[in-house]
Structure formats: structure tokens, C-alpha cells
Copies of this chain bind each other. A is one copy, B any other.
């Protein structure tokens, strides 16, 4: 990865804040890293290589803190241009200034974060091309790279009944315009991945919905997009991001297991992986680590949207990750997966609506980056120094026997398996030792 150069545009937006330094655990400075020391080596890779942080363009530079009960609260100084396109340029300046001062190597965007929609489809395409050209220059100047691009096919009112799963073919065609353009943009900017988040692909009401037909359309649409992308020279992974509900009552990409089944069913498993978001996992009734494990054990862990929800709130709160347990568990899976490959940790998170100071955006990202860096250290130590991995391995040792191998390789039938029991009438009870594991886990949480 490139070194990151602080990149300020014509106007400095985050005055008084420079490059965020690493100061170590004992520092009292809020605007400094306490754990994230990008060059520090952890088991053969630097922290920067392990963690591959990315900033989410939409939350950090477009969101103003609105919620269903009130408009935005955050005065973003870059929302100042006289035309939408001019505004988009100031926003781009602000974004690269922020990201480069923070020192993250990656960013992610939707087409309409970067560039205004315009009055016509033609204007939309032209705007996006313009902004991509400018973003490319910013990438070069700063050293920051594109982790992934995507198309926003859910905000425009035309998508109110879905995009690829819309009952109206013409709306699906509109989505094709955006997906084509966003793939082109991703290719042009050297993006490592291209993401599909379900948006409004799902249903509000089961009885006006033909679920099977909608899912078939979705599968077909994704194959079209894949084929186009490959022809356009895209070499990276396509990613699906599971979410169980919101905005739809039911989202089709419910969770990892559902999406993996769908991808295999529709012949997409070779080109697609998963982008796992913590808050989406919990809304689906799973832990973050569970969803990561399901993806990883299927060879489909593509990337991570690093955030968190609130255990007592049933919607996507998109908070910055600060829980060291969740993050250490995530890093246990990531390390077990051999790393994130071309994926990364994208902070799909927003500051709270009432966090209205300019520095709050820095504090939030610093908190998230420090938490994951600390989690990396804890997880690495657990795997390298603790009894945990060995205990887990030993728990399955009976399956490493001759009989176990025959079972696992399909060389044993039910009667032979029954025969083993008839020879061993008195089964043993082997403690699962959960409390011992939990104590060890806490010992390495430090």
C-alpha cells in the first residue's frame, strides 16, 4: 500500500487538525492513536496491511444527522457550492483532506455520494465521469485507494418498490444504467471490489409479492452485471452485503447463509463474496463473529463493514465499532481466514446526530481504528500464546481416528456407524469447558 500524503484542496476544511499521530497507550491526547501504529508488525504483516481501513463516503461526507424525527443537525462546511456539481467538488476536497489526515489507505462510495444525479440519465452519467476524473487525481496525490464502489439504487423514489426486484421492468432498467456506470467508475479508479447492498430488494408485504419471480430477476440481474464487469476489465470480487430488514420489512439478502445459498443457486459463487456488516448481523439474530465465520468457512469472506448496533434498538444504528469483545472475535475469524485478501475494514458508521463538532468525525474514526488495532493484538496473542486453539483442536480428536476418517470420507454407512456404538455402550460425557475458554478469552483481552 502507498504512503498517505495529507491532501488539502483550495480551502482547508479541518483547520487546526493535522495528520493524526500514533502516541501509544498512555497518551491522553484525544486526537491521537493509542493502538493503531500502522507500521507495527503483527505476525508477519503490518497493522496497515492487516486492517486495510476504509472511510465510507456517504456517512462521513454526505450525512448530516437527519433521522425520521428531524432534519440534519451537522453543518458540513463543504456543502457550499452554487451548483450540485460544484458542491460535489468541494466535498471531494473535504473527503481527501479528512482521509489523508486520518491516514486511512482506502475509501468506498456510491455513485450518488460522489456525484450529483442530474436531471437526466445522460447528465447522471456525465457528472459521474467528471467526478471520477477528479477523484482519480485525488487518489494519485494522496495515495489513497478505492476499496470498493457501488450504485445507490434505493434512495431515488423510483426505486420505492425495489431495483432488480421491482415489479416494473423499466425501473430495473434504470438500475442497470447506474450499475453499469458505477462498475465503469470502479474500474477506472482501480477499485478492488464492487459491492451490492440489497437496498430495497425485499418486500414490504408478502401478499402483493411474487417472491420467486423477484428472486429470479435478482439472480439474472447479478449475472448481467458480473458479465458486464468482466468484459469491462473488472478483476476484483463482487460482494453482496447481507441485511435482514430495513428499509424493507424483509430484505432478500437476510444473512450470510441465505446469500450463500442464493449465490450458489444462481451460478454466482465463483465471482461473488460477502461484505459482512456487524450491525446487519445482529439485526438478523446472529453475532458479528457468527456471520464472519459462515462466510469464511465457505471461502466467501470478502470484506467487512465495521460498525456496531445497539442491543436494545431494533434498527441499524450504524455506530462506530468500540466493543473490544466483538472486534477481537472478528479479528480471530479474519486471522483464521488468512486475512482479508483484497477486502478491508470499511467504517460504515456515522457519528451520533448530536455529535456536531467537526472533531467528532475524527474522534469517531480514531476510536474505531484503535479498537480494531487493539483487537488485532488480542486476537493474535490468543492464537499464538494461549491454550485456546489447542483446546479446540483436541476437542475433535476422536474424528482424527481411523473410524473418523472413514466417516468423513464417506466410506462408512449407517450400520457400520451403529456398530461402533454397539461396541461402546457407555458413552462418556465430555465437558464443553465454556467457562474455561471464557476466562482465557478475558485474560487475553488487554
User: Is B297 touching A211 in the complex (CB atoms < 8 A)?
Assistant: yes
Chain B residues with CB under 8 A of A204: 352-354, 432, 434
Instruction: Name A322's contact: one of B168, B262, B420, B442 (CB within 8 Å).
Output: B442
Closest to A168 in B: B398
With A199-B69, A417-B176 as known contacts, state yes or no: A429 contacts B160, CB within 8 Å.
Answer: yes
Interface 9-mer from A14-22, A42-50, A127-135, A253-261 = A253-261
Q: Does A138 contact B (CB under 8 A)?
A: no
Q: Does A39 contact B (CB under 8 A)?
A: no
User: Is B366 touching A439 in the complex (CB atoms < 8 A)?
Assistant: yes
Closest to A399 in B: B169
User: Is A357 touching B439 in the complex (CB atoms < 8 A)?
Assistant: no
With A438-B367, A445-B324 as known contacts, state yes or no: A157 contacts B429, CB within 8 Å.
Answer: yes
A46, B176: Cα distance in complex, Å: 49
With A180-B415, A261-B260, A414-B179 as known contacts, state yes or no: A439 contacts B171, CB within 8 Å.
Answer: no
Interface 9-mer from A3-11, A93-101, A188-196, A286-294 = A286-294
Residues facing B in A264-292 (CB within 8 A) are 264-265, 282-287, 289-290
Residue from A199, A227, A262, A425 with most neighbouring chain B CB atoms (10 Å): A425
Interface 9-mer from A80-88, A141-149, A338-346, A388-396 = A388-396
User: Is B167 touching A227 in the complex (CB atoms < 8 A)?
Assistant: no
Instruction: Name A432's contact: one of B289, B355, B425 (CB within 8 Å).
Output: B355
Q: Does A2 contact B (CB under 8 A)?
A: no
Encode contact with B along A423-435: 1 for CB under 8 Å, 0 otherwise: 0110111111111
Instruction: Name A227's contact: one of B297, B311, B414, B422 (CB within 8 Å).
Output: B414
Encode contact with B along A191-212: 1 for CB under 8 Å, 0 otherwise: 0000000011000111111111
User: Is A313 touching B245 in the complex (CB atoms < 8 A)?
Assistant: yes
Closest to A351 in B: B435
A210, B282: Cα distance in complex, Å: 21
User: Is A30 touching B249 in the complex (CB atoms < 8 A)?
Assistant: no
User: Is A352 touching B435 in the complex (CB atoms < 8 A)?
Assistant: yes
User: Is A417 touching B67 in the complex (CB atoms < 8 A)?
Assistant: no
Closest to A250 in B: B290
User: Is B401 touching A169 in the complex (CB atoms < 8 A)?
Assistant: yes
User: Is B70 touching A154 in the complex (CB atoms < 8 A)?
Assistant: yes
A211, B200: Cα distance in complex, Å: 32
Q: Does A137 contact B (CB under 8 A)?
A: no
A217, B284: Cα distance in complex, Å: 26
A313, B243: Cα distance in complex, Å: 13
Instruction: Name A428's contact: one of B168, B261, B392 (CB within 8 Å).
Output: B168
User: Is A310 touching B249 in the complex (CB atoms < 8 A)?
Assistant: yes
Instruction: Name A418's contact: one of B169, B176, B357, B439 (CB within 8 Å).
Output: B176
Closest to A174 in B: B421
User: Is B360 touching A436 in the complex (CB atoms < 8 A)?
Assistant: yes
User: Is A363 touching B220 in the complex (CB atoms < 8 A)?
Assistant: no
- Least Cβ–Cβ distance between A293 and chain B, in angstroms: 6
User: Is B30 touching A170 in the complex (CB atoms < 8 A)?
Assistant: no
A417, B220: Cα distance in complex, Å: 12
Closest to A72 in B: B157
Residues facing B in A361-393 (CB within 8 A) are 363-364, 366-367, 370-371, 374, 388, 391-392
User: Is B224 touching A413 in the complex (CB atoms < 8 A)?
Assistant: yes
A428, B168: Cα distance in complex, Å: 9
Closest to A122 in B: B422
A39, B417: Cα distance in complex, Å: 47
Chain B residues with CB under 8 A of A325: 323-325
Given contacts A34-B443, A172-B407, 13 further A-B contacts (CB under 8 A): A67-B68, A204-B354, A207-B392, A220-B410, A228-B413, A228-B414, A249-B310, A249-B312, A250-B312, A320-B438, A355-B435, A364-B435, A370-B442
